[in-house]
Structure formats: structure tokens, C-alpha cells
Amino acid sequence: MRPVIGVISDVKASGGHVVHGVTEKYIYAVARGAQAMPVLIPGTISAVDADMAPEQVVMDEIFDLVDGIFLPGSPSNVGPQHYGDVPHDPPLPADPYRDDISLPLIRAALERGVPLFGVCRGFQEMNVAVGGTLFQKLYEQPGRFDHREDSSRDIDTQYGPAHDVELEPGGLLAGLAGADRWRVNSLHGQGVANLAPGLVVEARAEDGTVEAFRVPDAPGFNIAIQWHPEWRFWQDRLSTGVFTAFGAAARLHAEARSRKPKLKAVG
């Protein structure tokens, strides 16, 4: 059987209702690129049930179901209060319900060795979850490029190659790419200000912006990527390699879980 990957959902209003959902391209990349079964994890359970169980119980229930966690991109941003900053005025798009589940889930996944893969917002969530900070408007920082997409262009152009990144020698991404530079797309307005302690850089843009990192001391596979490898992943060797590696790690985790003895009911 395919491993089960929990995919964190956005929470937003639509037509007078609250919707928990994920853009299809991420689901497809997990299903086909990682050869896994994607299962959507709703934003914080308090958005669904005001009488939610304690956080630890929720984490246990999630990890009883999944063999990996995928953190997709989103139009929303991590709430700045989570890294000691204050909101811009007017505030930027936010999703506090997603923050409430994703940040503790990241920490729990890293601690338990559950395979973890974050893209764009997910990349930023991973940095914040373990103590890093973000530039809320990267494009206003001296010496930094404007990494945002041109929303006036068609979608293929928006997700087209935008700039090179330098891949760290000996890193996971350099090994998968078989190269020390790679051409990537760019669709983000925020970025890493301070990388959390203990993280190691996997890729940087030419302006110094961190574009990928991992947590080397965590017991399981993990990678965070600022660009969008899910977009037509099958056309890009590095994107294909990352999703394949993620799926392989999830399968190993599933096999290890299946070997654990199950407690028998008493009575």
C-alpha cells in the first residue's frame, strides 16, 4: 500500500462558509511524485470543534494516521506574532487557523522523525516553528531581489524559471540535482530573515536569500524549499528527485510503524 501523507489545509471564507482546502497541484505532486496517498489535515481543530482535544492528543491521532507531513504553499502568511514581529498596516493575508495546527505539528514531526516536506509558506512555517524569523516584505529589504511573480502574466509564465540558486555542496538537493546550481521559479513576497538555530542551508538565491534548508539533527527525512517544486515536477529532475525521496522516506516510516507491536485490549 502507498504511504499516507497528511497535507495541511488552508482555512478561508468562501461564499459565506468556512472552507478547508489545498490547491490541486500539491495533491497531485504528493500522489504522483511521492507515490503516496494524500489526506487533507484541516486547520486547527478549533475551527471545526470548539471542544477540541488537548494538543498532544490531536498530534497523537494525526501521527497514528500518517507516514509523512506535507506543508504546501498558500496566499496567506505566517502570523508575525509567532516570530516576535508586529503586523504591517494594513495587515498582510493571514491564516491563524493554519498557524495553530502547522507550527506545533512541525515541531512534533521533527521530534518523532516523521518525514516532513515544506514548500513556500511551508518553508517559512518550518523556519518559524523552530525559532527563526521572516521578512514580511522581502522585496523592501536593501540588496534583495523582488521574488514575487508578475500576477498580470498567465499562470505558465508566473511559474516559469525565474532565477538560479546555488546548491550547497554535499547537501541533499545538490545530490539529487547532480549539480551545484539550479534554475527555479519564484513566487514569494516573504523570506527568511534569521534562520533558526540548528538549520543548515541547502540553497541560496544570488541575492543571498535562503531558498532551501533542512534540520540535520532531526531523526527523519525533512526538507524545506522556498520555490515551487510541485509545479510540473515531472519536467524537472530536482523536483522529481525531491518528491521521490520524500515518498521513499514515508514508505520506510510506514514499514517501521507496521512492525511496532500493537497493544491488546484488556478484558
Is residue 86 included in any domain, yes or no? yes
238: burial class by Cβ within 10 Å (0-12, 13-18, 19+)?
buried
Counted residue by residue, the chain has a size of: 267
Is residue 242 included in any domain, yes or no? yes
Residue 53 belongs to a domain with what CATH number?
Answer: 3.40.50.880
Is residue 109 included in any domain, yes or no? yes
* DSSP SS3 for 13: strand
Q: Is the pLDDT of residue 265 over 50?
A: no
Which one is catalytic: 120, 125, 202, 253?
120
Q: Give me the number of domains the chain comprises.
A: 1
Is residue 264 included in any domain, yes or no? no
255 among known catalytic residues: no
Comparing 47-56, 60-69, 111-120, the range with the smallest average pLDDT is: 47-56
Is residue 265 included in any domain, yes or no? no
Comparing 54-58, 216-220, 240-244, the range with the smallest average pLDDT is: 54-58
Q: Is the pLDDT of residue 48 over 60?
A: no
Is residue 267 included in any domain, yes or no? no
pLDDT band at 40 (very low <50, low <70, confident <90, very high): very high
Position 43 scores a pLDDT of: 87
Residue 126's domain comprises: 4-259
Compute CA distances 133 → 27, 81, 142, 199, whole Å. Answer: 28, 10, 17, 13
Unique residue bearing C-alpha cell 527563526: 132
Is residue 266 included in any domain, yes or no? no
In the sheet with 4-8, reading across from the earlier edge strand, the strands are 37-41, 4-8, 68-71, 116-119, 222-225, 210-214, 200-205, 163-167, 181-184
120 among known catalytic residues: yes
Mean pLDDT, the chain, whole residue set: 94
pLDDT in tens, 96-122: 999 999 999 999 999 999 999 999 999
Which one is catalytic: 149, 211, 230, 253?
230
Compute CA distances 190 → 41, 75, 133, 231, whole Å. Answer: 24, 11, 10, 19
Q: Which residue has the higher pLDDT, 11 or 58?
A: 11
C-alpha cell at 35: 507515490
Position 58 scores a pLDDT of: 82
Which one is catalytic: 147, 188, 228, 253?
228
pLDDT band at 44 (very low <50, low <70, confident <90, very high): confident
202 among known catalytic residues: no
Unique residue bearing C-alpha cell 554535499: 170
pLDDT band at 55 (very low <50, low <70, confident <90, very high): confident
Q: Please compute the mean of the pLDDT values over residues 64-71 and round it to a whole number.
A: 97
Is residue 113 included in any domain, yes or no? yes
